Structures are given as C-alpha cells and as structure tokens.
Amino acid sequence: MRATILSLFLIPFFLFAAEVKSYDFVVAKDGTKNFATMQDAINAVPDFQKKDTKIYIKNGIYYEKIMLTGSKLLVTLVGEDRFKTIINYDDYAQKKNRFGEEISISGSTSFYCSEVEFAKKQKGKKIRTVTLDNYFNNEYKKTTSGQLKPYHYLWDEEDNNGFSLLGRIFEKNGGQLNTLRTAPTLQNLSKSNIYIIVDPDTEKETEHPHFMNETDAQQIAQWVKQGGVLVLFLNDSGNCEITKFNTLAKKFGITFNEDSRNRVKGNDFPTGAIAVPKSNAVFPNTSQIYIKEISTLQVKAPAQTLIQDHGDTIIATAKYGKGTVFAIGDPWFYNEYTDGRKLPKEYENSTAANDLVHWLFKQINN
C-alpha cells in the first residue's frame, strides 16, 4: 500500500526532485548512501532542531512503517521520482489484526505524522466548528462482538465509507469537528459554522429513519439565513431518501432529482468523470473530478449551477440571507475516493476536497 496519507499531512514538506543537490542525508535502499531506510534518516535528525533538515530519498520500494514524531521539526523529505519512490508495507484497511479486527485506513498507512506536528498547522487560525449530521443519516452495523455501532460517513470512521480524511482536511485548516445526533434546531446549531448533511436514510437502511420535515427544514433554513454554511451531500435514487429531503433543499431553490447518473461498472472510471471549468470559484485548483451514482439537480433562484455536464446540473450553490448552501447528489468525499489509492491520478478528488474546505471557510458569516 502506498503511503497516500502523505497527501494530507506532508504536502508542505514531501517533495520530489530529479537529482541530488544539497541535502543533509541521502537514503538509498542498497545501502550506498547515508542510510538504507527512511526511518533511520528521520531518527538521525536532532530533536527540536531549529534549522531545516533536508532528506533525499533515492528510488526504490521502502518496506517500512515510518513515524515522524513531534520532536523532529522542519523536516523536508525529497523523493527522487514521484512514481518510483514508494513506501509500501502491504497493509490494507480490511486486513485483520491479531484480535480479528480490521486495521482500518489509519492503521494500514505506511507513514505516520504525529498530532504535535499536525496541530502546528492550526496555529494562528480562528477555530470554526464543522458539524456533521448523524440524525438524518443514522445507520448501524454489527461489530465482531455483536454490538451495534454507528457507521457510514462519520468523522471517526477510518474505513472506505468514513469521512475521517475529510475531517482531517477541515482540522488542518482550523476546523473543530462536531457531530449532531439529534434533530437540528437554531439552538443546537448556534455554535456551528458549517453543517453537513449526508445521505439521509431510507427505511431499508435504518429501522426508524428520521425523515426531513417542515419543522426541521425551517430551523435549518433560519440558521443558514443568519450566516451558517450548509453542505448537502445526498446520494442517488434508491440509496437515500430524496422526496422528503427536498422539503429543505427547495427552500434554497434546489431540487434533487430521483435519478441515478454516472453508473460506473467495475473500473470504468471515465463514466464517472466530470470536468471542472477553468477559473471555477469553488474548485480553482481542480480540473477533473470523479463521482459515481449521483442524483442530478434542478436549480432556480436563489440557487445557481456551479458545475454542469451534458446538460445536467451536478453541483449547485445558493446564497440565502447571510448564509451559503453547497449541494451535490453524492456523499463524494468519503475515504474511498479521497485517499488517492483507488482513483487514477487524473481524477483530483483530494485536491477538490481541499478546494471545497477552503471555499466553505470563506463563506462563514456567523
């Protein structure tokens, strides 16, 4: 498994270069340079050093689990080639540990960056609360011990279905994660700056689903009007409840169609390809995204189409009072399609997730 977790934690200090220039240490798998392993080179960096340490890594597959601790400051790792300098420990999210439990995405990664370093990225940023709904989306599954556990698009869920990677992007940019497990009200949303609702349940998914109703919709709409930022990540017809949920969406000029587009079979990725127009206000660094099995949108004022494909509205936004709404008919940024492992490199979902988070923070007005 390639250490694609680097894309979230280490972009500022993991680079690639074609040749060795001036570096403090050089790592070569064959032992001909300073170190034969990346971990030995990292361990050699003096703790709490105040000057930059540059480590150059020659091409090769490094079978290691690497830890960059909080005491190793200002470390820059430079790979010889982005496709030939590989960290691989052959773990995967569904692999079982000795207790019979899945090791998950975080457990399977080959490169760990300590929370001490991660927290430093937040210094100087105003903390904003990002609340994820766990009321309209309220699914459970049985654990190996037979207990019921909440799952599907949750902050703490590290497997393919979770939002843990999206959560880390929010945290990296000064977000504080929160989960709302009760019906939304002006009061319990008052400390939230961003509220995300994803994949509302059908009766097939939850024994007693919480359907959207006029009371809940009015409370959410009033919160948006006062400056809140609402994110609607729905799903296609048959995989989420749409009819009742439109009670909320229509207040902003958005209607989710009960359809299913981009039905990808196997690894036919081009079927899920959506081009992002140049100079897009929300996704300025993204040129193409991948979305499968989505519901399309109908849009009227105050909503506007953000991205369209073959005449279908794929993504819409709306200004409502002092607040903002972002809508797409797919959960989209769950781990499976943001961790960089499954999608070919031309699909920039991870870049799009970062773009969206930056844009959402700019819309906060409460």
With beta carbons less than 8 A apart as the criterion, state whether 317 and 325 touch.
Answer: yes
- Identify the segments of the chain with pLDDT beneath 50: 1-13, 114-122
Q: Is the pTM of this model over 0.85?
A: no
d(CA 269, CA 259): 20
- CA atoms within 13 Å, Cβ hemisphere of 185: 4
pLDDT of 251-264, one tens digit each? 999 999 999 999 99
Cis peptide before 331 (omega within 30 of 0): no
Question: Residues with Cβ < 8 Å from 221, sequence gap 6 or more?
Answer: 248, 251, 252, 320
Please tell me the predicted confidence (pLDDT) of residue 120.
41
Per DSSP, the three-state class of 247 is helix
- CA atoms within 13 Å, Cβ hemisphere of 299: 23
d(CA 362, CA 364): 6
With beta carbons less than 8 A apart as the criterion, state whether 336 and 325 touch.
Answer: no
Please tell me the predicted confidence (pLDDT) of residue 126.
76
Please tell me the predicted confidence (pLDDT) of residue 96.
67
Please tell me the predicted confidence (pLDDT) of residue 254.
98
- Listing DSSP states for 39-96 in one string gives HHHHHTSPTT-SS-EEEEE-SEEE---EEE-TTS-SEEEEES-TTTEEEB----TT-B
Number of H helices, E strands in the chain: 8, 21
